[in-house]
């Protein structure tokens, strides 16, 4: 394949990827009447560091959602595993306290290389196993997003 064909193929692939992402985003937020917020976390545990993205897609009407979890796991600054899974969940609420219950964990086996037992050391069981719960106090921060906290301690900001 010559350089011109490579460049053309690369541009076509990039545009196709962007179109697929835009279509998926439109479908999940407009057609399915879903809302969305995103957060980036860095988790330290012993000699490890995890860079994690949480993408919450949810329906206020159905009280159900999906949180897409992706990221990298490092030990002594060397990449040891990748994280990519979707957690389907429902929730119960009492004022600003939300109990999220995982109903299904969908692992992308081609993309995720980090074992679940290692993930359980860096994230709550809700993000690792089905039928587990986590409680968050979620305060709306206006049009920008939400503060997720536990026991009065802010944990992360989830941007709309």
36 class by beta-carbon count within 10 Å (0-12 exposed, 13-18 middle, 19+ buried): middle
CB count, 10 Å around CB of 141? 13
Q: What are phi and psi of 111, to 5 degrees?
A: -95, -35
Compute the average pLDDT of residues 69-87: 96
Q: pTM score, two decimals? A: 0.77
Q: What percent of the chain has pLDDT over 70?
A: 83
Task: Give CA angle at 9 (8, 10), nearest 5°.
Answer: 90
Taking the C-alpha atoms of residue 86 and residue 88, their distance in angstroms, rounded to an integer, is 6
Question: Positive or negative CA dihedral for 36, 99, 146, 159?
Answer: negative
Structure confidence at residue 4 (pLDDT): 74
pLDDT tens digit sequence for 18-76 = 676 666 666 555 555 688 999 999 999 999 999 999 999 999 889 999 999 999 999 99
pLDDT in tens, 101-155: 999 999 998 999 999 999 999 999 999 999 999 999 999 998 899 999 998 899 9
pLDDT value at residue 15: 64
What torsion do the CA atoms of 64, 123, 105, 62 make, to the nearest 10 degrees?
Answer: 0
């Amino acid at each position: 394949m010559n350089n011109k064909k490579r460049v053309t193929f690369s541009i076509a692939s990039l545009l196709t990827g962007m179109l697929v992402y835009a279509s998926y985003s439109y479908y999940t937020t407009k057609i399915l009447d879903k809302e969305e917020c995103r957060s980036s976390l860095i988790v330290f545990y012993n000699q490890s560091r995890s860079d994690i993205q949480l993408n919450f897609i949810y329906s206020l009407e159905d009280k159900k959602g999906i949180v897409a979890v992706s990221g990298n796991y490092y030990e002594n600054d060397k990449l040891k595993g990748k994280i990519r899974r979707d957690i389907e969940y429902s929730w119960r609420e009492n004022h600003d306290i939300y109990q999220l219950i995982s109903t299904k964990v969908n692992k992308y086996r081609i993309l995720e290389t980090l074992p679940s037992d290692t993930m359980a050391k860096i994230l709550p069981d809700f993000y690792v196993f089905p039928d587990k719960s986590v409680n968050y106090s979620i305060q709306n921060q206006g049009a920008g997003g939400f503060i997720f906290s536990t026991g009065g301690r802010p944990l992360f900001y989830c941007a709309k």
